[in-house]
Amino acid sequence: MPEPVTPVTFPPAFLWGAATSAYQIEGAVREDGRTPSIWDTFSHTPGKTAGGETGDIAVEHYHRYRDDVALMAELGLTAYRFSISWSRVQPTGRGPAVQRGLDFYRNLVDELLAHGIKPAVTLYHWDLPQELEDAGGWPERDTALRFAEYAQIVGDALGDRVEQWITLNEPWCSAFLGYGSGVHAPGRTDPVASLRAAHHLNLAHGLGTSALRATMPARNSVAVSLNSSVVRPLSQDPADLAAARRIDDLANGVFHGPMLHGAYPETLLAATSSVTDWSYVLDGDLAAINQPLDALGLNYYTPTLVSAAAASADGPRADGHGASSFSPWPGADDVAFHQTPGERTEMGWTIDPTGLHDLIMRYSGEAPGLPLYVTENGAAYDDKPDPDGRVHDPERIAYLHGHLSAVRRAITDGADVRGYYLWSLMDNFEWAYGYGKRFGAVYVDYATQARTPKSSALWYRQAARTGTLPPVTAAE
């Protein structure tokens, strides 16, 4: 007799969300006063994105947001995480705001609320106004001060109707892919600049949190979304354990150290001392960064497997977001990165739900008492419509089932996880990969912009409506 399957059921208040970001979906890059961000410049630079693709049009969400929100409601979402385009709101990255830019987000939020969907706003998902990059970008302290001003503007405009706030999305990518390996905008390859950027992103988070608190109702919640890595050593050999520690500091401790504990890990400072003296960390910075938070967002896709070694033949990997001969791991040239065993998604990322469970349990300990959200998790597959126009994506259903079950196990193990945001609502511009990688629960035909929910979206709807994961075959 087959084993009875225990239903995987979530607490009633659990949020069933989906996530997107501005540059990946909005398009309309030259409308209503918006100016270029570093991603406009980067994607228009030959050789930087697959096929030279850009977010100029993306999925036209700027013009189709009403239909998109109606679709979210049809899919039973109870929450939606999106980001604000800084250069749409504050075109020069400083000074007065453009009301038309803010109006777009006010209207979007009102539409969401009218459909009973909780908005979660990310202030910064990688699209720095180009003018601020021209003035030095994240390696310069002033960018953090500018971010605080921008946070105040957006907090003022939307704080009355948005309760959930996220300062930064994945600052690791901004700092180390943007300024280290150069596979992301602005495409610089300077290890010192990447560490300086990390510090000023931390400072931006702290100052931005204070600015939001000063302008918003106290009931609102402020968080940050980290792409904290689950770093595993290849063996229990002390040299491999030390390598894992080194990467853990550069992936995680460099952000959660100051944000949650008010200090950079000593081991990080020691391991990077040949690269930088950290003299840009000024008196008072760590206290400014270490703001009490209301929640923590975790983005998870795949674990990282490392060992001690001379630099591997392939060069250090760029965390799956693109290849570069420059390392995104300053001071860690003697660490080798390995492919984790198991099935992979279209990104080449190994599918490992245990990693999500481990990550949640780790941050449950790292930030006791802080509610956690999975603010991104999902998979890219080579989805195609069948002759009837339907899109079947059983692999994504299996991926979601596995990872949501891991979230449920973490809740059972005592973690306070309040919600899950599937990456992504719909297919979109996947950064350096252009439109080649489809992460959506909704299929987008880029020629017509038609949206078609994939079978995973219908599966997820059933999960959201019942609070219980349907079997993996349910929506096929």
Extract the annotated binding site for substrate.
24, 125, 169, 301, 423, 430-431
Residue closer to ligand FCB by CB (options 187, 470) is 187
Subset of 317-376 contacting ligand FCB (CB under 6 A): 376
The distance of closest approach from Cβ of residue 349 to ligand FCB in the complex, given in angstroms and rounded to an integer, is 9
Find how far residue 270's CA is from the centre of its chain: 28
Residue closer to ligand FCB by CB (options 416, 430) is 430
431 binds ligand FCB (CB under 6 A): yes
104 binds ligand FCB (CB under 6 A): no
Among 227, 290, 291, 324, binds ligand FCB (CB under 6 A): 227
Among 423, 435, 459, 460, binds ligand FCB (CB under 6 A): 423
Asked whether 303 and 234 are in contact (CB, 8 A), the reply is no
The distance of closest approach from Cβ of residue 126 to ligand FCB in the complex, given in angstroms and rounded to an integer, is 7
Residue closer to ligand FCB by CB (options 21, 130) is 21
The distance of closest approach from Cβ of residue 125 to ligand FCB in the complex, given in angstroms and rounded to an integer, is 6
* Of 174, 337, 336, 371, nearest in space to 255 by CA: 174
Residue closer to ligand FCB by CB (options 423, 460) is 423
Among 430, 440, 453, 470, binds ligand FCB (CB under 6 A): 430
459 binds ligand FCB (CB under 6 A): no
**Catalytic residue (choose from 149, 170, 266, 343):** 170
Asked whether 60 and 27 are in contact (CB, 8 A), the reply is yes
The distance of closest approach from Cβ of residue 271 to ligand FCB in the complex, given in angstroms and rounded to an integer, is 24
4 CB burial (10 A radius; 0-12, 13-18, 19+): exposed
The distance of closest approach from Cβ of residue 169 to ligand FCB in the complex, given in angstroms and rounded to an integer, is 5
Distances in Å between the alpha carbon of 232 and those of 242, 288, 310, 331?
A: 11, 32, 18, 19
Length of the chain: 476
**Catalytic residue (choose from 74, 376, 395, 476):** 376
Sign of CA dihedral 301, 178, 228, 245: positive
Say how many residues touch ligand FCB, by CB under 6 A.
12
Phi first, then psi, for residue 6 (nearest 5°) are -80, 130
- C-alpha to C-alpha distance for 404 and 357, rounded to whole angstroms: 9
Q: What is the DSSP string of 170-239?
A: -HHIIIIIIIII-SSTT----HHHHHHHHHHHHHHHHHHHHHHHHHS-TT-EEEEEE----EEESSS-HH
- The partner residues of 129 in beta bridges, in order of sequence, read 37
170 is catalytic: yes
Radius of gyration of the chain (CA): 21
Residue closer to ligand FCB by CB (options 111, 430) is 430
Helix intervals (H) in 159-190: 171-172
Window 375-404: contact mask with ligand FCB (x via CB under 6 A): -x----------------------------
The distance of closest approach from Cβ of residue 68 to ligand FCB in the complex, given in angstroms and rounded to an integer, is 17
Interior CA angle at 288 toward 285 and 294, to 5°?
A: 145
Residue with tokens 């990872």: 403
What is the DSSP pairing of strand 296-299 with strand 304-308? unpaired
Subset of 16-45 contacting ligand FCB (CB under 6 A): 21, 24
Subset of 153-212 contacting ligand FCB (CB under 6 A): 169-170, 173
Cβ atoms within 10 A of the Cβ of 169, count? 24
Residue closer to ligand FCB by CB (options 24, 164) is 24
Binding residues for ligand FCB (CB under 6 A): 21, 24, 169-170, 173, 227, 299, 376, 423, 430-431, 439
Residues known to be catalytic: 170, 376
